[in-house]
Structure 1
Amino acid sequence: MTADLPLPGLAEAPEKPDHKGHRERLRNRFIEAPEALPDYELLELLLGAAIPQKDTKPLAKALIKRFGSFADVITADVEDLKTVDGIKDVAAATLKVVREAAIRLARAPVINASVISSWEVLLDYCRTAMNTLPTEQFRLLFLDRKNTLIADEVQQTGTVDHTPLYPREVVKRALALHASAIIMVHNHPSGDPKPSRADIDMTRAVKDALNAVGIQLHDHVVVGRKGHASFKAMGLL
């Protein structure tokens, strides 16, 4: 008896790669309970959209090993991300889109609202935007007479423990925006938000420069992984 032969013109369906079945199951688990996925599996899903042709679990685990957590991965610099074998421009851009989306979601409630009466919302936004950054960053929040946010700008980016901020440039930008008040925010990559002596001296210099043109410095907030510090609450303003 001869073995059955496939009918002419009828090809066997190609087998689905193992990683595609795994990705589909992972996607279903995410839809059912997104909070239940560990960091590396969340990264798997993101990387799967950027690199659909390969199994992204090893790459996700490599990123967690290199940077520490999901938050640390998406806040890492693009060039640092690309030092991990397998991460190229498309994957790096996909990860950075997530960070920008998180920042915009956190900022939305602050726009067109009095930041003084929405202080905790403002702090949440600042922590989302800055507390896992690998280097120091200075952000200036410009307010109108009603303490409504009119501009949110990164003024300077520095090193792991220092960011230069020039009082004259702060005043110049505040005047250009017709701001009545400013809130200064910067991060400490070390995690400890306690202001340094340099932070205190620089803040006083900025406050004096702003006072000279009739603009108020409402607060200077330092954010870090261990919390935040308010110059106003600490009696430093």
Structure 2
Amino acid sequence: MTELACMPASPYMATRRDVARPAAGCAERGPGRDGPPATTLREPPLAVLASDSEAPAARPRDMPRERLRAAGPTALSDVELIAILLGSGLPGYDVFEVARSLLAHFGSLRAMLDAQREEFESLRGIGPAKASVLQAVTELARRALAEALDDKPLVDSPGAVEDYLRLLIGGRPHEVFVCLFLDARHRLIRSEESSRGSLTRMAVYPREIVRRALMLNAASLIVAHNHPSGAVQPSASDRRLTRVLRETLALVEVQLIDHLVIGARETFSFARHGWN
């Protein structure tokens, strides 16, 4: 709930004995003995590696990279994709078990990707290097979605805006208020976090948002905040804040295009609902 504020192949060796030893009781024939000399039969000095057909079949989970190359990333489970990111487990930790424990701990992929470094490093089997990889993947995804917003009118790309905001704040454990400042052609100038609150409450300062819009020479604005509960139905405070923001921005000729309430899977748009 936003709160309006008045202040600012396995390598095992199968020792195949391709050449047999002399049978028991058969002595070598040498000089001075009856019969011609016999050649001593010796065992080959090197063991013969087992063929592919003799090697035990690898379990499917042991070959996520091969399955990815053969069938594409969509064929892999969440655990397999995380295992590829991690690369290998720390000594004493199986990488697939670590991947499963990550999903079990956070409850979802989105919550895992929204986690802070300290949350990763507190888990068994995850060190600083692997925590950095997981955070880097999330940031790359956010930047890729932000690039999709560049150089195109955001009013023509509502789906891209909502995807970006869901990844940006949809999984946060506390409320966050974000402003997308746009130019006269509705192209993104900057995305900024304006306020951060608790699980259920957050103070937003309309005067500061107006001041920032003027500083960036923004012609219009899209604002959004998340509901950590996942429910996107706006509260009475959300509606009051939206009304005050529209009226305050209009005084300086900055248009409020929309106010979005972001959940983990759903989004509420004030503009689509007639600003009610």
Q: Under a length normalisation based on structure 1, what TM-score does the superposition of the two structures give?
A: 0.83
For residue 54 of structure 1, report the CA deviation from its aligned partner. Answer: 5.3
Match of 1:175 in 2: 214
**Residue 204 and residue 35 in structure 1: after superposition, are their counterparts in 2 closer, same or farther (change >3 A)?**
same
* Higher gyration radius (CA): 2
For residue 145 of structure 1, report the CA deviation from its aligned partner. Answer: 1.2
Match of 1:44 in 2: 83
Match of 2:27 in 1: none
Amino acid at match of 1:30: L
Root-mean-square deviation (Å): 2.7
Q: Is the 8 A contact 2:114 2:138 kept in 1?
A: yes
| 1:119 aligns with one of 158, 175, 179 | 158
Match of 1:187 in 2: 226
Q: Under a length normalisation based on structure 2, what TM-score does the superposition of the two structures give?
A: 0.72
- Does 1:84 pair with 2:123? yes
| 1:109 partner SS | helix
| 2:178 partner SS | strand
| 2:248 partner SS | helix
Whole-Å Cα distance in 2 between the matches of residues 115 and 124 of structure 1? 12
**RCO higher in structure (CA 8 A, sep ≥6):** 2
Q: Is the 8 A contact 1:182 1:216 kept in 2?
A: yes
| 1:94 aligns with one of 116, 133, 142 | 133
**Residue 171 and residue 51 in structure 1: after superposition, are their counterparts in 2 closer, same or farther (change >3 A)?**
farther
Give aligned-pair identity as a percent. 36
| 1:106 aligns with one of 121, 129, 145 | 145
Aligned positions, number: 224
- Does 1:202 pair with 2:202? no
Amino acid at match of 1:201: R
Q: Is the 8 A contact 1:39 1:69 kept in 2?
A: no
| 2:203 partner SS | coil
Which string of whole-angstrom CA distances, capped at 9 and with x for unpartnered residues, describes residues 44-98 of structure 1? 1111268599531111111111111222211122222223222232221111111
Q: Is the 8 A contact 2:181 2:221 kept in 1?
A: yes
Match of 1:228 in 2: 267
**Residue 50 and residue 138 in structure 1: after superposition, are their counterparts in 2 closer, same or farther (change >3 A)?**
farther
Match of 1:141 in 2: 180
**Residue 41 and residue 149 in structure 1: after superposition, are their counterparts in 2 closer, same or farther (change >3 A)?**
same
- Does 1:27 pair with 2:41? no
**Residue 111 and residue 53 in structure 1: after superposition, are their counterparts in 2 closer, same or farther (change >3 A)?**
farther
| 1:57 partner SS | helix
| 1:160 partner SS | coil
Match of 1:59 in 2: 98
| 2:256 partner SS | strand
Whole-Å Cα distance in 2 between the matches of residues 156 and 50 of structure 1? 38
Amino acid at match of 1:140: C
For residue 166 of structure 1, report the CA deviation from its aligned partner. Answer: 1.0
Whole-Å Cα distance in 1 between the matches of residues 88 and 220 of structure 2? 43
**Residue 231 and residue 133 in structure 1: after superposition, are their counterparts in 2 closer, same or farther (change >3 A)?**
same
Which one has a larger percent helix, Structure 1 or Structure 2? 1
Whole-Å Cα distance in 1 between the matches of residues 194 and 89 of structure 2? 32
Whole-Å Cα distance in 1 between the matches of residues 271 and 223 of structure 2? 11
For residue 233 of structure 1, report the CA deviation from its aligned partner. Answer: 1.6
